[in-house]
């Protein structure tokens, strides 16, 4: 039971902070953690978790004893942009994106 979130527009470092909180947890406990955490990526990871639970239901798995086996946050594409600076110069900066992979397993 897997689910993917591709090209999520937040840096992987910030998304990993939320992903580390639910890794290895029971599905219901992970949902409650994601409900109350105050991070930008928490609602989107909660939707991803719900999607993985729905995929498990489609495969006729018992959703009561599911656990978050693995959640991996990798870097996606990064957009290169330019920021104006002093004396008519410009400096580059990157808008980073993330790719999240969530896998559930039975206890």
Instruction: Give the per-residue pLDDT at 31.
Output: 96
C-alpha 8/C-alpha 84 separation (Å) is: 26
Residues contacting residue 61 through CB under 8 Å, at least 6 positions apart: 1, 106
Question: For 2-33, how does the pLDDT look when each residue is reduced to its tens digit (9 = 90+)?
Answer: 999 999 999 999 999 999 999 999 999 999 99
Please check the confidence at residue 103 and state whether its pLDDT lies above 90.
yes
Mean pLDDT of all residues in the chain? Answer: 95
Q: Helix (H, G, I), strand (E, B), or coil: what is residue 1?
A: coil
Domain boundaries along the sequence of the chain? 2-106
* Beta bridge partners of residue 90, listed in sequence order: 84
- Asked whether the predicted pLDDT for residue 34 surpasses 90, the reply is yes
Residue whose C-alpha is closest to residue 30's, from 93, 105, 84 = 105
Query: Token pair of 32, please?
Result: 């409650």
Q: Sheet containing 2-8: give its strands across.
A: 2-8, 90-106, 66-84
pLDDT band at 57 (very low <50, low <70, confident <90, very high): very high
- CATH of 2-106 among 3.90.470.10, 3.40.50.720, 3.40.50.300, 3.40.718.10: 3.90.470.10
Q: Give the confidence band of 96 by pLDDT, cuts at 50, 70, 90.
A: very high
- Whether residue 106 is predicted with pLDDT greater than 90 in this model: the reply is yes
Q: How much is the average pLDDT of 95-105?
A: 96
DSSP state, residue 10: S
Predicted pLDDT at 5 = 95
């Amino acid at each position: 039971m897997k689910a993917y979130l591709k090209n999520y527009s937040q840096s992987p470092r910030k998304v990993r902070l939320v992903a580390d909180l639910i890794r290895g947890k029971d599905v219901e406990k992970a949902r409650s953690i994601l409900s109350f955490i105050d991070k930008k990526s928490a609602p989107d990871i909660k939707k991803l978790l719900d999607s993985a639970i729905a995929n498990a239901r489609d495969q006729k798995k018992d959703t009561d004893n599911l656990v978050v086996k693995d959640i991996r946050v990798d870097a996606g594409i990064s957009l290169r942009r330019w920021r104006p600076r002093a004396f008519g110069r410009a400096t580059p900066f990157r808008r980073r994106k993330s790719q999240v992979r969530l896998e559930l397993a039975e206890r």
